[in-house]
Amino acid sequence: MTDALFEVRAVRYAYDSLPALNGLDLTIRRGSRVALLGANGSGKSTFLRLLDALDFAQEGTIRFDGETLTPERLDDDAFAHSFRSRVGLVFQNPDVQLFNATVLDELAFAPLQLRLEKQEIRQRIDHVMNELDIAPLAGRPPHRLSMGEKKRVAIASVLVIDPEVLLLDEPTASLDPRSQSEIINLLAGWSGDARTAVTATHDLGIVEDIADHCVVFESGRVVAEGPPREIVQNEELLYRTGLLHAHRHRHESGVVHSHPHLHRHGDHEHSE
């Protein structure tokens, strides 16, 4: 078994004539925790959709565990069943992901699609509800939940299939500090053996907790990668890729100073 889980080579993808991924090359290793960093529009979300085989490379190739991801390959029921049970994506906006009448129905949906036994489904649901502290929400409709509750339910709806690969798009966006902390603690504990996590974010404040490797995107390409601490301390790279900006303020004396300011979701966004 090779150490490379996803092998991405010269991948291009565009929406109409607008490029989203522009000759992207990247290897994601089995058992790694990877943070995809980049400003809005850098290609992170599109890349996650391609890793989850919701969309497919228009040029280049993406291989998962040695298999090239193509529409034809996903048309094969046996391969699709295996792939969907191994790889799960949590969208940035949970309202895109949650559509069932109750939280309990939401958690049962994917396991039912994978044709798991009812007893096993019940056990898995109980486990993820306890792990994410959402058991009291079981009978509630997802659209009536707070943003933090929706995020936890969306993550639970993926964890319930017990995937080998967890893909997350901006999991702490729009959350209050307590909800952010809960999600970060979950991601910090997601590790070991074959478990792999790929998290897209532009919140530099969380990467050292959730990742052991960082990949920086700019204009649909990988422009840097390395250990979280090394990337976070590279101010020139962060300024250039829009992950860091200078905050300017004027003192009473009239002197204007500027200092680096991390690009964090919590600075501008609030929970519902």
Cα(76)–Cα(85) distance, rounded to whole angstroms? 14
Residues in the chain: 272
- Number of domains forming the structure of the chain: 1
Supply 148's token pair. 């933090």
CATH of the domain at 243: 3.40.50.300
Six-digit token pair at 237? 């790279």
Q: What is the pTM of this model?
A: 0.87
For the chain, residues with pLDDT lower than 70 are 1-2, 191-193, 245-272
Q: Which residues are 42's β-sheet partners?
A: none
In a domain, 59, yes or no: yes
Whether 272 is in a domain gets the answer: no
149 inside domain: yes
Per-residue pLDDT tens digits for 67-103: 999 999 999 999 999 999 999 999 999 999 999 999 9
| pLDDT given at position 104 | 97
Give the separation between CA 247 and CA 39, rounded to whole angstroms: 17
228-262: pLDDT as tens digits: 999 999 999 999 999 986 544 445 555 444 444 45
- Taking the CA atoms of residue 177, residue 142, residue 190 and residue 118 in that order, the dihedral angle to the nearest 10 degrees is 160
Query: Where would I find the H helices in the chain?
Result: 44-51, 71-74, 77-86, 94-97, 103-113, 118-131, 147-159, 177-188, 207-210, 228-232, 235-240
Domain that holds residue 21: 4-267
